[in-house]
Amino acid sequence: MQPGRFQGQQSGTSNDDDNPFILRDYDHCISCYRCVRVCAEQEGDYAITMMNRGFETQITAEFNNRLKESACTFCGQCVQTCPTGALGDRKAMRAESLPGKLKKTRSVCPYCGVGCQVDLLSKEDKLVGIQPAMDGPANEGALCIKGQFAFDFVQHDDRLTKPLVRGDDGELHEVDWNTALDHAAEGFRKVLKEHGRHAVYGVASGRAPNEAAYTMQKFIRAGFGTNQIDNCSRA
């Protein structure tokens, strides 16, 4: 088969969508409609559809607008299902020029209590992208916008790496963990003394192990004498 016979007009056009997450380059589109189906049948968003007919068929957002002007939730499912690269992960593509080989590591999303499994994409010691785990029991290949794209905090310059305590000068100072924990404990005791036990409220993690959940409720109920404790899974 000679490749020259397939050269000529392309089936789509590049879309200069200014959203920061999904690259849309329909020059590579083969109109397989997989992105349209996953958006409608899997996510229930109906944010993307088809327009025109025949060779002029093209994937588009509502009323041929930009994605952020549509019902798109930027879950990234269209990117995962696209077989040609017409849809791409902009954030992951930023790391193309970084040195090192791309490594994939299985992990769990750190946000809500669902516990979606993810595959972390890294180059050397830098996290460059996230993909949903297709065999994840909780998410089965699906992620929300936070799980898919909100990972810049991991290597952000402002991320705290040591405990800080505000001194008498009003500024935050680095301290060791024992000093920080003693300061936090003193704060609890002060609130309890001045405002009573109902001024304390606890929220536990939905993905913490049973031992941690037990310790948290014991801390609130036995330590402060109140039942004001809840779990983030209810959110």
The CA-based diameter of the chain, rounded to the nearest angstrom, is: 84
Residue 9 has pLDDT above 70, yes or no: no
- Contact present, 80 and 131 (Cβ < 8 Å): yes
Average pLDDT of the residues in 137-152: 91
Distance of CA 181 to the CA centre of its chain: 30
Average pLDDT of the residues in 15-22: 83
Give pLDDT, residue 7: 67
Instruction: Residue 115: name the closest of 145, 139, 141, 142 by CA.
Output: 139
Average pLDDT of the residues in 194-222: 89
What the block records as the tokens of 156 is 């952000």
For the chain, domains (ranges, CATH) are 8-93 (3.30.70.20), 98-155 (2.20.25.90), 164-234 (no CATH)
Residue 165 has pLDDT above 90, yes or no: yes
Give pLDDT, residue 1: 64
Measure the CA–CA gap between 91 and 149, rounded to whole angstroms: 7
Residue 119 has pLDDT above 70, yes or no: yes
Instruction: Residue 63: name the closest of 51, 79, 75 by CA.
Output: 51
Confidence band, pLDDT 50/70/90 cuts, at residue 6: low
Measure the CA–CA gap between 138 and 153, rounded to whole angstroms: 24
Residue 195 has pLDDT above 90, yes or no: yes
